[in-house]
Structure 1
Amino acid sequence: MGAGRDAETAGEGHLHGFGSRGYRTYVLNALLLIYILNFIDRALLAIVAPEMKPELGISDTGFGLLTGFGFALLYTLVGIPLAQFAETRNRVWIMTVCVALWSLMTALCGLSTEIVVGSLTIGAFWVLLACRVGVGIGEAGCTPPANSLIADYYPPSRRSTALGYYAMGVTLGGLLANLIGGPVTDAFGWRAAFFVVGLPGILVAVVFRLTVKEPPRGYSDPPGAVRKARPRFIDGMRELASKRSFWTMAIGATIASFCGYGISSFQSLFLNRSFGLTAGEAAVMVNAPVALASAIGTLATGWLAEKLARRHPNAIAWLPGVGLIISAPFYFVAFTTGNLTLALVCLCVGGAVKYGYLASQYTIGQGVVSAQVRAVSTAILLFLLNLLGYGLGPLFIGALSDLLFRLQAADLGAAGLARAACEGAGRVALSPAVQAVCEVAHPQSLERAMLLTAGLYVVAGFFFLITCRWLQKEMVAR
């Protein structure tokens, strides 16, 4: 696949981008595939939860730690150094190594079991947590270099659509994780699901390295753009310090990711507890349609913002802001209704209108900074999104759910009842009175925790709206 350009057209990168149109499309799809794998591997734990959680005896708080903070801590700590490395080193090689690493660690999650070393016994929970940390380290090297590559392959006029297309990896990854992981879990168990989704990523990493070329850094920037050969991290921070639109967008995106990661991590458990669905049924009947609707909404927002840009240049900020605010009442209905069809419809609509912020966060994050600090800008944004959003969102819902469960169980006359007693086969051994408490407190505590979290989407939307105040003054890429 040729990616070269004639010498006389090399100065027109800001008009056409790097390489031929067909090759750019191939590269964008390759990056999308990798981002899809990123979120398949990341989302799988939540999908297998109805089977895995009772087997390992994990509380909702422990599950929130496993799905969120345990993954996000190393992801964020490693992400910024990797992004800084990507500013001056080969981005294709960085992504190749990282894809192979996280794919291998995902497969190893399926081997998580109790380990005995002499007199020391390491529980399966801690082994699984260690594997999740490994997945986080690998995935830290995905999005910053990928965003930087897209910015060089596509001119400013086309980046909104390209980044919106790339951002679909979040929702398409969730879709495929459900369509693959759910049925595999029901048929062969949760451990097999990790092998099935993890191992193919190693082959993808090899093909990516062999077929994708590293473009000249800053190739698609406007003529006269100032570039530094070896930018420092402090340079990126100084530039970002003056960009108020970046920080208001980042606050809104962090709150939205806090809600979104928390809700998606516990969605299968919510469907299992409130409607009695198995892992596979929840994945195929509800989670997959919701992910598809969310993917369409993500792409549509980026496309619509680009179409409106001439008459409404701030559309990339206010469109997702409005969508986030609109999503809140749909989630309220989804988490309070006893009708599965109505819950499905509301989750689909809520996902479709809220996820437009994904296209916005990358477009604004890339657009308000110069070429030499794009990867660092993305890494700082991802530091906030993942440490505060992904790291704390699932943990918050899990801890709140356990707290509400204990309070509700006490009110119903079963003080001291452990949540683990309400899960799995052990539930049948409980007395009828305690089983009745489980029937109420077990699902309702999680429903209320998710409902309270979804209300924060309104706050996230507000921050995207106020981003419009400074966005046009601070935008570099136009």
Structure 2
Amino acid sequence: MREARAVSGDKKPSVEGALFAVVVLTAMNLLNYIDRWVPSAVKDLFKADLHLTDTQTSLPLSAFIVVYMVASPIFGSLADKAPRKVLIAAGVAVWSLATAAAAFADSFVTLLVARAAVGIGEAAYATIAPAILADYFPPEKRNRIFTIFYIATPVGSAIGFVLGGVLGEHWGWRAAFLAVGLPGLLVALLALVMRDPPRGQFDAESAPPPPWSLALRQLARNSQYLYTVLGYVAVTFATGGIADWFATYLSRHRGFELAQAAGAIGQAAVIGGIVGTALGGVLADRLKGRVRQPYLFVSAVAMLPAAGLAVIALYVVTEPFAIMACITAAQVFLWMYNAPVNALIVNAVDAGMRARAFGLSILAIHLLGDVLSPPLIGAISDATDGNLPLALALVPVFILLGGVIWAVGWRRVD
């Protein structure tokens, strides 16, 4: 698999509508993560209301991710044939309605089905949006654009925790689902007026998308893609576990109120996520020409302090201020991989393969990452008489593992 290459100077790509597309797609990314993490902020509330176990409270998140990861390669294929903005608009509408529908759940099964349906909608957006942005900007600008786009990930996660905690404490968990679900319908309408740029306009001419059997063989031989995604899997395992369980940990073991815990995590995610995503993107670009594979280098090095600070926040400090200072600092380092890793995936493949490459990476990071970690942590907690701190030891271990994989890739990828 050859890397995408810039087009020659005689080609005149069109960037009309690029700014509008960045705004609309970044807004989708923001809403995506708000919707995704509200359940984690209110899990003790619907646990009591629906009479669930710890393991069951994490299964709706896993059900969402299972559907999300299975549907992502499907939408990656559909994007080769259908209008991409129509697919995205339909996806955003589906996930928004499904999020709101969770407010009417009256049992574990109905909550599970509603959250699973969110995955269908999010799969359409997550596989196609990066490919559209790549078609608006040349390779040398993509890391900067993805830095803007992916800043919405920690900010949306933070808003989800804060809004979920506040709404849940004052008006109940059902109000939280309803309030964050419906605004997505407006963004779906905006997607329909967004311009769909010519595919691969900034890249060397590439072959039509191959069949999945050939695409898988090509990606399996692409060392940059493999190391990037394998490290991404490990870090996603860790972030899925801490995102789903840290508010509960603070409430049960550190004496935080629900809204206080959700608000503290939200603040840490906003500060750490914005600073980390921006710092990682800028630093990786600044190191071009000075360090080989700077995107992998920055991602690998940042995981060591992230893992160490997570250990301190979980097991060493007990005062609220110290806990939040450590987890905020950990978030800064943890989010430094965000823009570089996604830019690596885009630049590792030809234009015709991008939606499929993202679809497959989504399948991998969730199938082997945050599908497993929340219920596994819940199961360990249940099996050890509620020893959630022990179960959360998986988090720093997998952060460190992700860094090791990226470090090996940094040494081996040409």
TM-score normalised per structure 1? 0.82
Q: AA paired with 2:397?
A: G
Q: AA paired with 2:298?
A: L
Q: Deviations over 1:230-273 (max 9, x none)?
A: 54323422321211221122111101000101110011111111
SS at match of 1:355: helix
Aligned residue in 2 for 1:74: 67
User: Paired residue for 1:220, among 182, 202, 221?
Assistant: 202
Contact 2:60-2:115 within 8 A present in 1 as well:
yes
Contact 2:268-2:327 within 8 A present in 1 as well:
no
Q: AA paired with 2:199?
A: R
The offset of 1:399, in angstroms, is: 1.0
Contact 1:179-1:283 within 8 A present in 2 as well:
yes
Q: Distance in 2 between matches of 1:46 and 1:178?
A: 7
Larger of the two Rg values belongs to structure: 1
Aligned residue in 1 for 2:372: 392
Gap regions ≥5 residues in structure 1:
1-8, 114-123, 406-441, 474-478
The offset of 1:42, in angstroms, is: 0.7
Aligned residue in 2 for 1:347: 327
Q: Distance in 1 between matches of 2:103 and 2:19?
A: 35
Q: Deviations over 1:284-304 (max 9, x none)?
A: 233333333123201220121
Q: Is 2:60 aligned against 1:60?
A: no
Q: AA paired with 2:46?
A: M
Contact 2:159-2:266 within 8 A present in 1 as well:
no
Aligned residue in 2 for 1:26: 20
Q: Is 2:414 aligned against 1:460?
A: no
Contact 1:36-1:169 within 8 A present in 2 as well:
yes
Q: Distance in 1 between matches of 2:76 and 2:138?
A: 21
Q: Is 2:97 aligned against 1:104?
A: yes
Aligned residue in 2 for 1:239: 218
Aligned residue in 2 for 1:86: 79
Q: Deviations over 1:175-195 (max 9, x none)?
A: 211232221111111100111
Contact 1:186-1:278 within 8 A present in 2 as well:
no
Q: AA paired with 1:150?
A: L
Contact 1:50-1:272 within 8 A present in 2 as well:
no
TM-score normalised per structure 2? 0.94
Aligned residue in 2 for 1:174: 157
Q: Is 2:313 aligned against 1:320?
A: no
Moved more, 40-49 or 272-281: 272-281
Q: Distance in 2 between matches of 1:289 and 1:458?
A: 20
The offset of 1:277, in angstroms, is: 2.4
Q: Deviations over 1:417-466 (max 9, x none)?
A: xxxxxxxxxxxxxxxxxxxxxxxxx4xx1112112332221111010111
Contact 2:238-2:394 within 8 A present in 1 as well:
no
Write the mapping of 1:288-327 to structure 2, written as runs, cut at 5 A.
Answer: 288-327=267-306
Change (3 A) 1:318 1:274: same
The offset of 1:359, in angstroms, is: 1.7
Q: Distance in 2 between matches of 1:193 and 1:64?
A: 17
User: Paired residue for 2:146, among 153, 163, 167?
Assistant: 163
Q: Distance in 1 between matches of 2:308 and 2:267?
A: 21
Aligned residue in 1 for 2:182: 199
The aligned length equals 406
Q: Distance in 2 between matches of 1:192 and 1:49?
A: 13
The offset of 1:100, in angstroms, is: 0.3
Q: Deviations over 1:349-401 (max 9, x none)?
A: 11110122222321111111111101100111110111211210111111111
Aligned residue in 1 for 2:36: 42
Write the mapping of 1:370-381 to structure 2, written as runs, cut at 5 A.
Answer: 370-381=350-361
> What is the percentage of aligned positions where both structures have the same residue?
26
Q: Deviations over 1:136-185 (max 9, x none)?
A: 11111111100110110110001111122212222111121123222111
Gap regions ≥5 residues in structure 2:
1-8
Change (3 A) 1:67 1:391: same
SS at match of 2:349: coil
Q: AA paired with 2:86?
A: W
Moved more, 354-363 or 33-42: 354-363
Q: AA paired with 2:345?
A: G
Contact 2:250-2:256 within 8 A present in 1 as well:
yes
Q: Deviations over 1:290-339 (max 9, x none)?
A: 33312320122012111221322411001111111211111111111321
The offset of 1:61, in angstroms, is: 1.5
| Cα RMSD, aligned residues only | 1.8
Q: AA paired with 2:15?
A: G
Aligned residue in 1 for 2:5: none
Contact 1:64-1:396 within 8 A present in 2 as well:
no
Moved more, 374-383 or 266-275: 266-275
Q: Distance in 1 between matches of 2:125 and 2:370?
A: 16
